[in-house]
């Protein structure tokens, strides 16, 4: 058994196809197939059921595939320990970040991180939470930046800060006369929402809970972009709920539409998440430190009512 064979097993588990797995590993398909077959012969079992399209691990193969992931992570961590001992922070750091954080948080910390750690190459993907968790499990990402709590088995969460939510209220909206709004003021029938799959959609629904009058509208729209929802509020009608970081670049006219919540504000918990085994611990700690130094400092230790996903 070799680490290379386990690499092929991992690639097959991700791709569920011999040709694509070989392309992922930059080898020929016959070479990958031969090495996986050799490993199976050594173990005396079938790791993958080739009769299925796409192929899937056998029941025993599922356990072996999971162990292959663990062994490969530990092997990568073995090399990282040496680099950390030498004081070298270099290489690639693959990050996932959710769309409602990416446009607002990345500009705050990426310039400083590039300046402080020029030998680390950041590879960032904008992903929805469920996709990010799956990529973390398959070692296609080193960490994710998203909203928690997830309570996903095998996924570790490291809270960074609480981000308050604020109302963004159109000039003709029924709440526009208020300087501050209450959670009880919200009605799902006049709030623009993000589309299914965005964790913030679920959070806004949880803020509103039972507040819905069931008034039908002639125009129903769900967007994948907070900026689109902002434009609808400004030009059309209704309101939406924004995370604090999304408000930092609003101009003076736009800021007049913002409404804070009375009392303890609803907040979303922004965290770094990793799989169970930390491969690039020193890099991740460096990134965490830069993020915390780059965000508005009033977000640190901010108390609020954390919204469930």
Residue linked to tokens 């526009």: 176
On whether the CB atoms of residues 239 and 167 are closer than 8 A, the answer is: yes
Higher pLDDT, 167 or 52: 167
Higher pLDDT, 42 or 221: 42
182 vs 163: CA distance, rounded Å:
17
On whether the CB atoms of residues 87 and 58 are closer than 8 A, the answer is: no
Distance of CA 306 to CAs 21, 27, 196, 264, 296, Å?
41, 48, 21, 10, 19
- Residue 209: which pLDDT band, with cuts at 50, 70 and 90? low
Write the pLDDT tens digit of every residue in 6-15: 999 999 999 9
Other Cβ atoms closer than 10 A to 29: 15
Give residue 277's pLDDT.
Answer: 63
Tokens of 77: 């961590």
pLDDT, mean of residues 67-74 = 86
Read off the DSSP letter of residue 265: P
pTM: 0.75
Long-range contacts of 82-87 (CB under 8 A, 24+ apart): 83/282, 84/281, 84/282
112 vs 97: CA distance, rounded Å:
18
Mean pLDDT across the chain, nearest whole number? Answer: 87
194 vs 226: CA distance, rounded Å:
7
Write the pLDDT tens digit of every residue in 274-293: 986 666 888 899 999 999 99
In sequence order, which ranges of the chain are alpha helices (DSSP H)? 3-15, 18-25, 29-43, 59-85, 102-116, 129-137, 199-208, 226-235, 252-255, 281-294
C-alpha R_g of the chain: 23
pLDDT, mean of residues 108-127 = 94
DSSP, collapsed to helix, strand or coil, labels residue 170 as coil
- Residue 210: which pLDDT band, with cuts at 50, 70 and 90? very low
Tokens of 94: 């693959």
Structural domains of the chain ordered from first start: 3-83 (1.10.10.10), 90-161+267-306 (3.40.190.10), 164-266 (3.40.190.10)
On whether the CB atoms of residues 267 and 165 are closer than 8 A, the answer is: yes
State in Å, rounded, how far the first CA of the chain is from the last one. 43
Checking if the pLDDT of 27 tops 90, the result is yes
Which residues 6+ apart lie within 8 Å of 241 measured at CB?
165, 166, 167, 168, 186, 191, 204, 207
Give residue 203's pLDDT.
Answer: 79
Higher pLDDT, 281 or 255: 255
Checking if the pLDDT of 84 tops 70, the result is no
Higher pLDDT, 255 or 198: 255
Distance of CA 87 to CAs 119, 132, 290, Å?
12, 30, 18
Write the pLDDT tens digit of every residue in 34-56: 999 999 999 999 999 998 888 99
Checking if the pLDDT of 116 tops 70, the result is yes
Lowest-pLDDT range of 45-59, 73-87, 213-227, 241-255: 213-227
DSSP, collapsed to helix, strand or coil, labels residue 87 as coil
Give residue 220's pLDDT.
Answer: 56
Checking if the pLDDT of 218 tops 50, the result is no
Checking if the pLDDT of 90 tops 80, the result is yes
């Amino acid at each position: 058994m070799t680490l290379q064979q386990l690499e092929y097993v991992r690639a097959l588990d991700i791709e569920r196809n011999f040709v694509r797995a070989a392309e992922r590993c930059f080898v020929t398909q016959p070479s990958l197939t031969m090495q996986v077959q050799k490993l199976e012969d050594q173990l005396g079992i079938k790791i993958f059921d080739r009769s299925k399209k796409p192929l899937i691990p056998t029941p025993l193969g599922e356990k072996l595939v999971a162990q292959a992931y663990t062994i490969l992570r530990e092997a990568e961590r073995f090399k990282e320990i040496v680099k950390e001992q030498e004081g070298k922070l270099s290489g690639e750091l693959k990050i996932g970040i959710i769309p409602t954080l990416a446009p607002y948080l990345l500009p705050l910390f990426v310039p400083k991180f590039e300046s402080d750690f020029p030998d680390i190459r950041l590879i960032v993907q904008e992903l929805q939470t469920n996709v990010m968790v799956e990529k973390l499990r398959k070692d296609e990402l080193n960490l994710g930046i998203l909203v928690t709590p997830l309570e996903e088995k095998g996924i570790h969460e490291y809270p960074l800060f609480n981000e308050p939510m604020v109302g963004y209220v159109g000039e003709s909206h029924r709440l526009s006369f208020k300087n501050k709004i209450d959670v009880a003021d919200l009605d799902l029938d006049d709030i623009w929402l993000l589309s299914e799959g965005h964790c913030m959609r679920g959070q806004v629904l949880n803020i509103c809970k039972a507040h819905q009058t069931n008034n039908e509208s002639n125009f129903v729209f769900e967007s994948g972009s907070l900026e689109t929802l902002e434009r609808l509020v400004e030009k059309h009608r209704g309101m939406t709920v924004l995370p604090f970081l999304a408000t930092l670049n609003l101009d003076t006219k736009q800021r007049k539409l913002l409404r804070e919540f009375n009392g303890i504000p609803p907040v979303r918990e922004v965290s770094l998440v990793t799989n169970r085994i930390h491969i690039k611990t020193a890099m991740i700690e460096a990134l965490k430190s830069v993020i915390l130094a780059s965000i508005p400092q009033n977000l640190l230790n901010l108390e609020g009512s954390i919204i469930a996903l």
